[in-house]
Homo-oligomer: A and B are copies of this chain.
Amino acid sequence: MKADRRKMLKKIDHIGIAVHSIDEAKKFYEEGLGLTCTRIEEVESQKVRTAFFTLGETHIELLEPTAPDSPIARFLEKRGEGIHHIAYQSDNLEKQLQQARENGCRLINEQPVPGAVGKQVAFLHPKSTGGVLTELCEIQNPEL
């Protein structure tokens, strides 16, 4: 079982960062760090606008709320701007979720839901991950 689990997680897909304004926040990533914004996309299901910066095999994902009841708007209200979640890419999301569940993790999404860039995603609750909102995702369309 353990060997299977190790094989499923491939890499850190992205780090999600909550910001009030992508236009403001991306100055640091572009000018301060020298990264390039490669994609801006709205994810209606999460009520956010996202901006991606690619670095090596992973991405920084800035998250700006598009509505006051967006999960990101609530995070900003409570904690202010900062790191929101870590996303891990798996090659078998359903099995990954099942094994997380079997090991005592509390799932926010019992089933995968559509995320940015055509991915299937599911979140684990920070209460069962040492305070870290953890996303597991699986690529559906490698061309995106």
Contacts and interface: CB of A to CB of B under 8 A. Distances in A.
Interface residues of A, number: 47
A121 interface: no
B12 A33 contact: no
Tell me whether chain A's interface is mostly helix, strand or loop, or mixed. mixed
B12 A58 contact: yes
Contacts of A57: 11, 56-58
Nearest to A19: B130
| Highest count of chain B CB atoms <10 Å: which of A6, A32, A57 | A32
Interface stretch (A41-49, A77-85, A112-120): A77-85
Interface string A46-69: 000000000111101000000000
Q: How many copies of this chain does the complex contain?
A: 2
Interface in A94-133: 99-100, 103-105, 124, 126, 128-132
Contacts of A40: none
Contact of A105 (B32, B36, B104): B32
Given A15-B86, A33-B100, A56-B57, A81 B9 contact: no
A74 interface: no
| Highest count of chain B CB atoms <10 Å: which of A17, A88, A129, A131 | A131
Q: Which 3 A-B pairs have the closest CB atoms?
A: A5-B34, A11-B56, A81-B131
